[in-house]
Amino acid sequence: MERPDAEPRLASEAAPRHPGTRRPAPRPDPAAAPLPSAPPFRLRARILTPLPGGATRFLPDGLLEVDAAGRITSVSPWQAPDGTVEPGQAVGPDTAPIHDLRPLLLLPGLVDLHTHVPQLPNAGIGAGLDLLTWLERYTLPLERSFDVPTAERLAPLAFRAYAAAGTTTVAAYATADPAATEAVFAAAEAHGIRAAIGLVLMDRGVGSTEIDRWPSGTEQLDASAALCARWHGRDGGRLRYAVTPRFAVSCSADLLRASVRLAGETGALWQTHLSEDPRELAEVRRAFPGAADYLAVYEAAGALGPRALFAHAIHLSAGEVARLAASGSGIAHCPASNLFLPSGVMPLASYLAAGLKVGLGSDVSGGPSPSLFETMRAGFYAGHALQSLAPGGPPPIVDPLAWLRLATLDGAGAIGLADLVGSLEAGKEADLVAVDPRPTEPVPGASCRDDPAELVSRLIFRTHPEMVRAAWVRGRLLPTGPSSRGPVSPLPAIRSDRDPARSRR
């Protein structure tokens, strides 16, 4: 970790004056200053990033340079050039303008490994229900209503919400409607976010869900293949396809095998849910009586491997953990969702010690917020609770910088993107966020020292909706917040009118 020998001067302090020198013009507040919308550019700010091998780099006053192709060319301590340089002014004919963002903090863009775009209107609804009841009562009815007009209205707002929370990469589920999934891809393409998205595959009902209201498994596979052909690798790989069987409860063995075959033939990601809820596990045992455990259902389909991404994975046996680790499969840890729906607590420290590839997922709307900073906070609390209730395992993850790593570089690694994004290093694509720690102060002026762990701790435990000032993918500024096209008609939350007592068990 790079730290200066002397305590850096606060950005708000006046520079020392010498006889015969002019007082420099006051520096504009970066919250109000215009931000670069496209590369090339250079940003002066505090810079914090995880690095491969477990290291962290912190520059209290640094310069990050992005070339015209949207790649980071340099991350270095600030060295003032000769002469006075005003914010936004280029130093020479061949250099990009400098934008002085101090005291903002530059971080790698966050990587959300598990979210459901159609479910955003239901965020915060259904707390305390078990997974299958929540699916039947709220989620599946909402997804059935997610037609093309709804997708065209909601998906752009969803991607704005992710970017406003600091997320620049998502692994997302769409719905079982191919045309609506197409609209989600089109929204991601227009927005600029980095995304892997998939049509949700299911050929069996959940509870009393009427499966005949969904396309058949064969139709879904054909539609999935067509979507993959159109979207996988679009825009130089910014958009990828993810073959997406919902989970074993809603998929036959034939559908699972065919989905794995499609991912293998196309090089697409393959994502699903695993071992989230005790009642779900019981349903899997009933549906696949010959399987040794839940993971064996996916193993029999040939799913495990570096392109596989499993969400939740809470209730795993030691054998399942070992097989997942050996396969190189990725795990999306969704602690906010696992507490919102009383699914359980992942033994994260044990999984990491066993060598599992783990990142973080918001799991909207099982998780109540698209913010991965809030997800980190839930995971921190859950780990401490697990240690208190079941002592004896590895100590919980308490370092804020370790949580930041899970949300960035580790998440990128879980989906094969660590060579492109997840850290601020020369040669990587410029997926980054500018965060203002000032809104997280408990009272105005109670700022942290320039200590990276303390800065990130405030972002996690005092998350503020206005702290993320900007997000870029490949150096292009992402739209955030409400649409500039004016008010949007409400998207009401949807629930089923069915009596949950009638659900099949």
Encode pLDDT of 443-469 as tens digits.
988 887 889 999 999 999 999 999 999
Residue 500 included in any domain? no
The pLDDT score that the predictor gives to residue 448 is 79
Helix H or strand E segment including 158: helix 148-164
Tokens of 360: 């973080």
CA dihedral 447, 395, 332, 374 (to 10 degrees): -30
Mark whether 69 and 173 lie in a shared domain: no
Residue 376 included in any domain? yes
- Find the mean pLDDT for residues 364-384: 97
Mark whether 133 and 258 lie in a shared domain: yes
pLDDT at 245 over 60: yes
Residue 420 included in any domain? no
Bigger pLDDT: 8 vs 46: 46
Beta-strand runs (E) in 260-338: 269-274, 308-312, 330-333
The terminus-to-terminus CA distance of the chain in angstroms comes to: 54
Cα separation, 108 vs 105, in Å, equals 10
Burial 415-446 (b: 16+ CB within 10 A, else e): bbbbebbbbbbeebbbbbbbbbbbbbeeeeee
Burial 25-50 (b: 16+ CB within 10 A, else e): eeeeebeeeeebeebbbbbbbbbbbb
Mark whether 76 and 114 lie in a shared domain: no
Mark whether 93 and 115 lie in a shared domain: no
- Find the mean pLDDT for residues 227-239: 98
Q: Look up residue 345 and give its DSSP letter.
A: -
Which domain range does residue 251 map to? 110-414
Tokens of 369: 């917020």
The pLDDT score that the predictor gives to residue 28 is 65
The strand order across the sheet containing 72-77 reads 72-77, 56-66, 41-50, 98-108, 432-435, 468-473, 476-477
Instruction: Label residue 82 by pLDDT band (50, 70, 90).
Output: low
- Find the mean pLDDT for residues 478-500: 56
Mark whether 129 and 234 lie in a shared domain: yes
- Tell me the CA distances in angstroms from 434 to 4, 105, 301, one per residue in order: 22, 6, 42
Which CATH number do you get for residue 387? 3.20.20.140
Encode pLDDT of 327-366 as tens digits.
999 999 999 999 999 999 999 999 999 999 999 999 999 9
pLDDT at 484 over 80: no
Residue 473 included in any domain? yes
The pLDDT score that the predictor gives to residue 298 is 98
Bigger pLDDT: 205 vs 4: 205
The pLDDT score that the predictor gives to residue 503 is 33
Last residue in a domain, options 387, 414, 441: 414
pTM, rounded to two decimals: 0.90
Mark whether 361 and 438 lie in a shared domain: no
Mark whether 447 and 472 lie in a shared domain: yes
Q: Which of 499, 433, 384 is nearest to 167 (CA)?
A: 433
pLDDT at 1 over 60: no
Residue 60 included in any domain? yes
Q: Which of 449, 427, 306 is nearest to 51 (CA)?
A: 427
Query: Looking at this protein, which amino acid is placed at residue 251?
Result: C
Bigger pLDDT: 208 vs 403: 403
Q: How many CB atoms lie within 10 A of CB 4?
A: 12
Residue 14 included in any domain? no
Mark whether 264 and 391 lie in a shared domain: yes
Residue 17 included in any domain? no
Last residue in a domain, options 359, 383, 414: 414
Mark whether 351 and 442 lie in a shared domain: no
Encode pLDDT of 84-108 as tens digits.
454 555 554 457 899 999 999 999 9
Tokens of 176: 């079982």
Residue 297 included in any domain? yes
Q: In terms of C-beta density within 10 A (0-12 exposed, 13-18 middle, 19 or more buried), how is residue 497 classed?
A: exposed
Encode pLDDT of 136-190 as tens digits.
999 999 999 999 999 999 999 999 999 999 999 999 999 999 999 999 999 999 9
Count of domains in the chain? Answer: 2
Which CATH number do you get for residue 87? 2.30.40.10
The answer to whether residues 109 and 167 touch, using CB atoms and an 8 Å cutoff, is yes
Mark whether 213 and 233 lie in a shared domain: yes
Mark whether 99 and 118 lie in a shared domain: no
Mark whether 52 and 128 lie in a shared domain: no
